[in-house]
Structure 1
Amino acid sequence: MRTAIYDGLRFTAMSSEIKAAITRGTLFGLASISILALLPLIVRDQLGGGPVAYGALMAGFGTGAVFAGISNNLFRRILSQERLMTLSCVACAACSLSLALTSSLAVAAIALALGGAGWVTAWSGLGVSVQLASPRWVVGRTVSIYYALIDGGIAAGSWVWGTVAQNHSLTLALEGSAGALLLVAATGALFPLRERRESEPDPSEEFNPPAVALDLKPRSGPIVVKIEYLVAAENVESFLDLMRERRHVNSRVGARHWTLQRNLQEPVQWTETFRTPTWTDYLRLNHRLTEADKELDKRVLLLHAGEFPPQITLSIERPTGPNRKSEQSVPYFPRR
């Protein structure tokens, strides 16, 4: 269980697409939740209404959400994901600001319809971005991390805007929320939502487990992998650039303690080394590599100057000390 959780956290931390979606979602939830969290106060204190007014405003919010859901495919054909996220933030900011300034039930209902449309458009786009950026072997874990963090942002935002409304004013809380939503839209410059590539990041099926001379169990390990390359001096810089990408790829799918060494006696020889906790983890690592990762391997192979392919050596670490403590005789004391 711990290994599975660690793999999900590591993959999420090393995926720029997932990190951008989680960051934008958490900030959007924190800033936009004021619309729903403060709605009862808006109805009571600003509109002077009751349960019927509250229901009408929620109906307006739901109507906008339904319209956005129906039109979602059309929006995505004509607009990029980043543009849709920006428009969603602007729509929710306009909703929050309108609620802060109006005392009309009809205007508030129209504003909430706009906010509902922005709400659904933002969340649907972010959720799809996380799922499409995750291979099948880790998608459940990345989606769980995504929902945990955005729910945390929603919870924190509810407390923040409620505190502002209680200690200052309801109008200030809604205006602050509108300003925060515009800042979330601006964070696209730092955390852009990328468009999906034509090929999905699903694992490649082309891997045959190597033959080994030892009788390894699934939990045998740690496994040490060494790959030796021969690289000409004029290709060293290009080789290092590719190996930086390779380090990121291998670490993302489960490699640990990744290093690259250069032979001091024969400078043309380079050795890539990494470890996996068990034999099963090594097999999983290779099954998790995508077609795009395989293309990176081919680019590295083009820089290999040897007559034969790079030599791959698999080893298993063994401690030099005793595997277990020696058994000691336990004195027997008869009961009285």
Structure 2
Amino acid sequence: LTSSVGVAAIFMAIGGAGWLITWTGTDVWVQLASPRWVAGRTLSIYYALTYGGIAAGSWIWGAVAQNYSLTWALLRAAGALLLVAAVGIVLPVRPWEESDQESSDFRAPELALDLKPRSGPIVARVDYSISEKDIDAFLARMRAKRHAFSRAGARNWTLQRNLHTPSLWTETFRTPTWMDFLRLHHRLTLADKEVDQHLFALHAGDHPPRTVLS
């Protein structure tokens, strides 16, 4: 884009510094934004997409430069970067809060059997009594709970309505082992547990919902 070596060197130095700062900052941000128990998985996906994007971009813009011109390819690449930046402004990533990272104070339930860490599978059942006027709010909270529990490791999560007693709803999910059940609850954050508090507030029974394990 310029015939001056000095000007090109200055702008290449500025661009390289910006690239290094952005790359390092993004690495740190990904690690800080990821829950501790899934940080390794998040970083592996991030690096796979990053280096895969570099490889794909090198091939695409190399083909463009070969078939058109280097100037044309550089201008289009710069335009693509501006477009990505604009998308980031229009659709920003939700900033994480302390409640997203702070784990809940879960205590393992007392059992009549002496389970080993690999004992399982474990099936959990929770019964709720919900009045007709609260069903919409209950279902909305349950969708949030399903998302949180599935993310933390729950499998086969279901919500069933009793056909004989329509006010009775039963939530069930399973984990492969007892250790997986404990890990699931330790992975839930305080923000996730607030969903349970809202569900308990909607419960119309005389006693709070209790988790029954089998």
TM-score, scaled to structure 2: 0.91
Q: Deviations over 1:61-110 (max 9, x none)?
A: xxxxxxxxxxxxxxxxxxxxxxxxxxxxxxxxxxxxxxxx2111122123
Candidates 178, 185, 196, aligned match of 2:85: 185
Aligned residue type for 1:108: A
Q: Which runs of 5+ in 2 are unaligned?
A: none
> In the alignment, is the contact (CA less than 8 A) between 1:259 and 1:273 conserved in 2?
yes
Structural mapping, 1:1-336, within 5 Å: 101-188=1-88, 191-204=91-104, 206-315=105-214
> In the alignment, is the contact (CA less than 8 A) between 2:100 and 2:191 conserved in 1?
no
Q: SS at the partner of 2:137? A: helix
> In the alignment, is the contact (CA less than 8 A) between 1:132 and 1:200 conserved in 2?
no
**Paired residues, what number?**
214
Give 1:5's aligned residue. Answer: none
* Largest Rg, 1 or 2: 1
Q: Deviations over 1:110-149 (max 9, x none)?
A: 3223323432343244323322221111112211221121
Question: By how many angstroms is 1:189 displaced?
Answer: 5.9
Give 1:14's aligned residue. Answer: none
Q: Alignment RMSD, CA only?
A: 1.8
Q: Deviations over 1:280-321 (max 9, x none)?
A: 111100111111112221111111111111021111xxxxxx
Q: Separation in 2 of the partners of 1:307 and 1:226?
A: 18
Q: SS at the partner of 1:138? A: helix
Distance change (3 Å), C-alpha of 1:305 and 1:213: same
Question: By how many angstroms is 1:201 displaced?
Answer: 1.1
> In the alignment, is the contact (CA less than 8 A) between 1:219 and 1:279 conserved in 2?
yes
Aligned residue type for 1:207: F
Q: Which runs of 5+ in 1 are unaligned?
A: 1-100, 316-336
Q: Separation in 1 of the partners of 2:27 and 2:93?
A: 12
Q: Separation in 1 of the partners of 2:189 and 2:112?
A: 28
TM-score, scaled to structure 1: 0.60
Aligned residue type for 1:296: V
Q: Separation in 1 of the partners of 2:56 and 2:175?
A: 38
Q: SS at the partner of 1:172? A: helix
Aligned residue type for 1:152: G
Question: By how many angstroms is 1:261 displaced?
Answer: 0.8
Q: Separation in 1 of the partners of 2:62 and 2:100?
A: 42
Q: Separation in 2 of the partners of 1:226 and 1:200?
A: 26
Q: Separation in 2 of the partners of 1:198 and 1:254?
A: 22
Q: Separation in 2 of the partners of 1:209 and 1:216?
A: 12
Question: By how many angstroms is 1:199 displaced?
Answer: 3.9
Q: Separation in 1 of the partners of 2:205 and 2:87?
A: 47
Q: Deviations over 1:171-218 (max 9, x none)?
A: 1221121121122113226752222324451322x2221122333222
Q: Separation in 1 of the partners of 2:164 and 2:197?
A: 27
Give 1:21's aligned residue. Answer: none
Aligned residue type for 2:137: S
Q: Separation in 1 of the partners of 2:21 and 2:99?
A: 24
> Would you identify which runs of 4 or more consecutive aligned residues in structure 1 move more than 3 Å?
none
Q: Separation in 1 of the partners of 2:51 and 2:170?
A: 44
Q: SS at the partner of 2:52? A: helix
